[in-house]
Chains A and B, each alone.
Chain A
Amino acid sequence: MSPLHNLPEETLILLLKKKNQQAFSYLYDNYAGALYGVVCRIVTSTEHAEEVIQDVFVKIWKHVDLFDADKGRLYTWMINIARNTALDYRKSKGVMNEMKNQPLSNIVNTQEEQDQSQAERSARADFIGFRNILDKLKPECRILIDMAYYKGYTQQEIADELNVPLGTVKTRTKAAFLQLQQLLKEYR
């Protein structure tokens, strides 16, 4: 399932450091879809996502020499580049503020797609094959991952937004991961 099973991470790093077309092709064919999926969930429009994913690849390509295998996994590193690039883009476009200004009820109360504004929902409809495995998580866990991972909220912001203590945010985060891991097992 994970591309890292296909090519050992150290081999992939060696390959990427060669900076040739073969390396690019491998990187693209095996990771583009996953990284694009992350970007799309953050910037929410195909036009913007296509712009961002290009930046993501350029960053990965440029900075792979700086990647330190002792400090983490390559795939995670790439996902984080995709996520941070997309979040920065969101911030620069002011989408973030718009989202944060949504009334709380809009985030918490509706059972379906409750974390999305009307505009975002229609924008997401642009994407073909948009699958949201997170829908299968308990709503409180799903909201937490969505806010933290895809919208870039801080712990404090989440606590304020959901009106819960910081400790609860951590407990829910733990619970969210346990559910997610369980879900992934079922998928495999």
Chain B
Amino acid sequence: MDIEAYISSGIIESYVLGLASEEEISILNCIRKNNTAVEQAIVEAEKALEGLADIQAMEMPLVLKQDIWNRLEAENLVTKEDKTADGQVEQALTDGKIIQSPVQTTDAEKEPKRIVQRQFYGWAIAASVLLALSIGTNVFFYQQVKEGKKLLTETNAILDTQKASLTVLQDKWSLVKNPAVKTIPLKGVENKPDLHALVFWDQSSKAVYLSLEQMPAAPKGKQYQLWAMVDGQPVNAGVFPLKTKEQMASKMLDIPKAQAFAITLEDEGGKPVPTLTELCVMGGI
């Protein structure tokens, strides 16, 4: 077949224009597969009609874009999320290659700018939303960390208190369980019936420990003083250290012999003889 003659016969243009008969079309489809010149001539003819469509483009009513999209949505023909575009498409879109529109309308010059701006705003809005989300997340996590830290501090404080209490109890317990140690409860006197203290007296070492179980903190400038009653005479057994917590068993002076113990509230530092009016608790052995 003379390809030149075929190409110049007008069959290709007839085909592109939609005029060719079915027989002509099937022959043409057969030739185009094996002949690049024919294929090229078809493409050229198609491009001519594409160019014609470009030049004769007409502006569409603006509302139609939304109308058509709504219709596609209504017919379930769309994918919801927009972030699936793969790298190639994304690349092409961000390259800015697509800013030119084939629409040859009277304001054809304005069109590309508008598309760029629309895309720019789209990205700007997306970026803003991401930024807002990011800040929100940061604030949220910052709050969480702050809460966590506060809780940790509180827990630590509680733990410290518990540990201290445990030490106090363990100290006392070691005294109580020691068979050599005698526990002497001191009870409140007539006008102070609620007061209560414990004396631990080590019979072998003669060491004396005092625990103010239920005694108000000593007023400023005052201090509790322990006395041992030896043959009817009060003997100084030492002052309860100011900085010691009331419940803690504090080591006092050694007492080799006593029939009873008593506590008075004295001026800071203690006195050589007890002020009997300030007697708080006492207990016999």
B77 on the A face (CB < 8 A)? yes
* A24 with B78: CB separation less than 8 A: yes
Contacts of B31 in A (CB 8 A): none
* C-alpha spacing A41/B49, complex, angstroms: 14
A89 on the B face (CB < 8 A)? no
Nearest CB of B to A50, in Å? 6
B145 on the A face (CB < 8 A)? no
* A133 with B55: CB separation less than 8 A: yes
Pick the contact of A11: B20, B92, B103, B104 (CB < 8 A).
B92
With A11-B92, A148-B18, A177-B45 as given contacts, are A33 and B77 in contact (CB-CB < 8 Å)? no
B36 on the A face (CB < 8 A)? no
* C-alpha spacing A180/B50, complex, angstroms: 11
Pick the contact of A131: B56, B67, B72 (CB < 8 A).
B56
* B92 with A173: CB separation less than 8 A: no
Main secondary structure of the interface of A (DSSP, over half): helix
With A1-B51, A133-B52 as given contacts, are A33 and B60 in contact (CB-CB < 8 Å)? yes
Interface members, chain A 83-105 (any B CB < 8 Å): 83
B85 on the A face (CB < 8 A)? yes
Pick the contact of B56: A20, A29, A132 (CB < 8 A).
A132
Contacts of A130 in B (CB 8 A): 58
Binary per-residue interface labels of chain B (52-90) against chain A in the complex, 1 for a CB within 8 Å, 0 otherwise: 111111111100110111011001011111101110110
* B100 with A32: CB separation less than 8 A: no
Contacts of B68 in A (CB 8 A): 24, 28, 53-54, 57-58
B195 on the A face (CB < 8 A)? no
Q: Among the interface residues B55, B58, B68, B80, which one has the most CB atoms of the partner chain A within 10 A?
A: B58
* B98 with A76: CB separation less than 8 A: no
Contacts of A154 in B (CB 8 A): 19
Interface members, chain B 17-31 (any A CB < 8 Å): 17-21
Pick the contact of B102: A3, A14, A24, A58 (CB < 8 A).
A3
B235 on the A face (CB < 8 A)? no
With A26-B93, A58-B71, A58-B75 as given contacts, are A33 and B59 in contact (CB-CB < 8 Å)? yes
Contacts of A36 in B (CB 8 A): 57-60
Residue of B whose beta carbon sits closest to that of A22: B82
Contacts of A128 in B (CB 8 A): 58-59
* B14 with A54: CB separation less than 8 A: no
A145 on the B face (CB < 8 A)? yes
Nearest CB of A to B188, in Å? 86
* C-alpha spacing A30/B118, complex, angstroms: 14
B277 on the A face (CB < 8 A)? no
Interface members, chain B 138-185 (any A CB < 8 Å): none
B204 on the A face (CB < 8 A)? no
Residue of A whose beta carbon sits closest to that of B75: A58
Residue pairs across A and B with Cβ atoms less than 8 A apart, 14 shown, are A18-B85, A19-B77, A22-B85, A24-B72, A24-B78, A25-B65, A37-B56, A58-B71, A75-B53, A154-B19, A170-B11, A177-B13, A180-B51, A184-B51
Shortest 8 CB-CB contacts between residues of A and residues of B? A33-B103, A170-B10, A174-B10, A33-B57, A184-B51, A34-B53, A34-B57, A76-B46
